[in-house]
Chains A and B, each alone.
Chain A
Amino acid sequence: MKYLTALLVVASSLLAACAGEGSPDQTPQAITVFGPWIGSDADAFAAVLDGFDGAEVRYTGSADFVGDLQARISSGVGLPDVALIPQPALIEELASSGDLVPFSDDVVSAVEDNFTSDSLRLSTDGKLYSIPYRSNVKSLVWYRPDVFDTNGWDPPTSLDELDALVNRIETDTDMAPWCFSISAGGQTGWPATDWIEDLVLRQAGPDVYDQWVDGRIAFSDPMIRNAFEAFDELVLSRGRTFGGAQAIAEVDVARASGPLFTDPAGCAMYKQASFATSWFANGTTIGADGEVDFFTLPGTDVGSSPPLLIAGTGAVQLADRPEVSELMAYLASPDGGRAWAERGSYISPRTNVDPDSYYRGSDIRFGALLKDAEVTRFDASDEFDSALRSAMLTGMTSWIAGRQTLDELLAALDAVRSPDPSD
């Protein structure tokens, strides 16, 4: 019997040993990368990093990435070696404050080999700090072809037609015209800023848009104010969003499209960027014959090619080590995006890839939109400096919740941009 006891003791010790956790194992040479992608996007980016031949790379993504990165930089503790930043203005701020490492000649030539000069942004000091790693098309409206067919609706070709369609949905059916929410942790409010930007670009045109971004046209200017009023009427009016004010404020942006897919559908349309595909349920088919399809938010004139609002994430370097520069050159190359492109939900402004073979599924259509659009403009709120962006996010959130009037909001935003010297 003593053998049996011994056997059981050995077996339980083995079980306990297997169940025990390891001690932290920090490899000093590993390159640390910090970015905004979580979940399946993080998996896709990790697959890209797995293809890097150099040092070991560890990626961490946070839903509150911008706040976390700013905290890491201001404290100077736990700085990542590479960061993926979705806001050009923040990249410029960090470059100006000396927190970024200008690219080495090798990285610069790798970037220039793969991207057009239009897509590159030199800093004010004339140096290159960022690779335009991933792009998004923002001006998309998602809908279910089966629901549109059943009700006899067609995707609108002008803003007036969109307005008429929204009225029809409201009067003819029980569903809300829109699925919409703005809740996104520290970045709450950004889907609302996208709406304003798309409407300014359409109603006032790209020249006014550029002047607005540069600060030459104020928020309270009638041309900008018009966009806020149009958004208020088209989307925020009572009964036009699924779940009303409460859902707008509380439902996480990544889950806002849920009612579009229920049976019966809770909403008819969902305006969201190309990256919304990674928020849809796994295996959702996209296309005219699929479960969901999209049209570009139309322009003011019937049949005209609508302008395209785009956004993107830049890869920047915070550590001046040779292996980090090697990683940056890899990220600039076609291989530096291939694994993600193969998984889907990845487009980039790389010039030396064939979109039809490099991209998958609906990314081919997004890539073509990006390439063929007559007018493209970068997301304004990502171009604004941190203070203005933050004020726009919180201000719009308050305005949507009814805690602030439109006049107050626009005046407050203008005050952030041009502080009164007497204050």
Chain B
Amino acid sequence: MTALGTVARWIESIGPSTPDADAIAAVDELIPIGPEQRDYVVRFCSLIVLSASIAAFGLLADSGAVVIGAMLVAPLMTPIMGAAAATVTADNRKLVRAVAIIGLGMVLAIIVGWTMSLIAGGTVVDVRALPQEIRSRTFPGLLDLGIAISAGAAAGYVLPRRSAISALPGVGIAVALVPPLATVGITAQLGLATESRNALLLFVTNLAAIIFAAGIVLIFSGFRPVVRTSRGVLRRRVAVTMALVLLVAVPLFLHTRSVLDDQRLQNSVVRSVESWDAEVRIVEITSDVADGRATVELLLSGRGDPEPVWELAEQIRERFRGPVDLQVLYQSDQSYQVSAR
């Protein structure tokens, strides 16, 4: 047996071979078809507009509680779960429908964010003047990725189990997809292109992580490609599904690599400062990894003169295993710049 075959058999062996009828019905009901579909789309659009409005006002007012309220109203979870289920079962018609609805929701939420910022945004001249609730959504980090994967897995677990439905609001809060979209609109209206792009990146990678994690949990719950159709059709469906998986995996991979690099750099900097000069305390770290090169700005305080800063840069380079540009401001008045290659 090939290695792939062994893995497939293992997956078969650990989960139920097919989900029960109730689970299938729960997943099927995510996006209604037929005459109910129209009502669903109207309801979805209304809730997206309302949720994005609440989120936008909450973000502009810097109110975490209001933003959480918007998450509870947000209806994005159902089409996302629909997309995850359709991906796992290789049901392209449902997949296209789910993706179209997600796309519609994205566009609406961004437009609402943009409009609300036009009405209530005022003039933000500097990124630092942005409310904290908005700024925190323009720096996608490792924790955001962890939250998205865990929340996606929780959603995949809850949805086919009507008995666990009480957990759904919590999942909705954790997944939190509408506030990043409103942030995209708000920052775009304020002319902050980088922040807007970062918020969109946060949304796209969250979306990818959620579909990915939920898909894996659905596989463990017994969902599989439907094999009632001819082999050619099934092959085409699986190809489309694989394409979507790739589409999701690429931004997820790039984003994961980038946040892991950032995290690795921060750890390297903290450890290096500790072993470089025991008398020195880190007041603030700003670090970034771009094209494999680390840029680090450190605000340090301590007693007396610090150890030579070139030694610190070399330690960071050895730990990070890559080139480093280091700028140190010591005691607010001594400035040092070192590059280690």
Contact = CB atoms under 8 A, between A and B. Distances in A.
Interface of A: 3-4, 7-8, 11-12, 15, 18-26, 34, 37-39, 42-43, 45-46, 49, 58-64, 68, 71-72, 78, 185
B340 A59 contact: yes
Contacts of A71: 308
Interface stretch (B32-40, B112-120, B184-192, B320-328): B320-328
Interface in B247-272: 260, 263-265, 267-268, 271
Nearest to A64: B336
Given A4-B217, A46-B323, A21 B339 contact: no
Indicate the member of A11, A49, A71 with the most B CB atoms within 10 Å.
Answer: A11
Interface string B280-292: 0000000000000
Indicate the member of B157, B321, B323, B339 with the most A CB atoms within 10 Å.
Answer: B339
Contact of B338 (A7, A11, A61, A72): A61
A24 B142 contact: no
Indicate the member of A4, A37, A49, A72 with the most B CB atoms within 10 Å.
Answer: A4
A19 B323 contact: no
Indicate the member of B264, B310, B317, B323 with the most A CB atoms within 10 Å.
Answer: B310
B309 interface: yes
Interface stretch (B47-55, B58-66, B146-154, B226-234): B146-154
Nearest to B268: A21
B339 A4 contact: no
B220 A4 contact: yes
A19 B260 contact: yes
Given A19-B267, A42-B341, A63 B153 contact: no
A68 to B, nearest CB: 6
A65 to B, nearest CB: 9
A43 B268 CA distance: 21
Given A15-B260, A25-B318, A4 B153 contact: yes
Contact of A3 (B14, B146, B308): B14
Contacts of B313: 60
Interface in B125-170: 142, 146, 149-150, 153, 157
A68 B320 contact: no
Residues of B in contact with A, size category: 35 or more
Given A3-B220, A15-B260, A62-B309, A21 B338 contact: no
B337 A38 contact: yes
B338 A62 contact: yes
A102 B265 CA distance: 40
A43 B335 CA distance: 21
A320 B308 CA distance: 25
CB-CB nearest 3 A-B residue pairs: A42-B339, A46-B341, A63-B337
Contacts of A22: 268, 319-321
Contacts of A21: 264-265, 267-268, 271, 319-320
A68 B310 contact: yes
B12 interface: no
A137 B216 CA distance: 64
Given A4-B157, A24-B318, A34 B310 contact: yes
A63 B338 contact: yes
B70 to A, nearest CB: 28
B319 A23 contact: yes
Indicate the member of B149, B264, B341 with the most A CB atoms within 10 Å.
Answer: B341
Contacts of A3: 14-15, 220
A193 B211 CA distance: 64
Given A15-B260, A26-B318, A60-B340, A78 B311 contact: yes
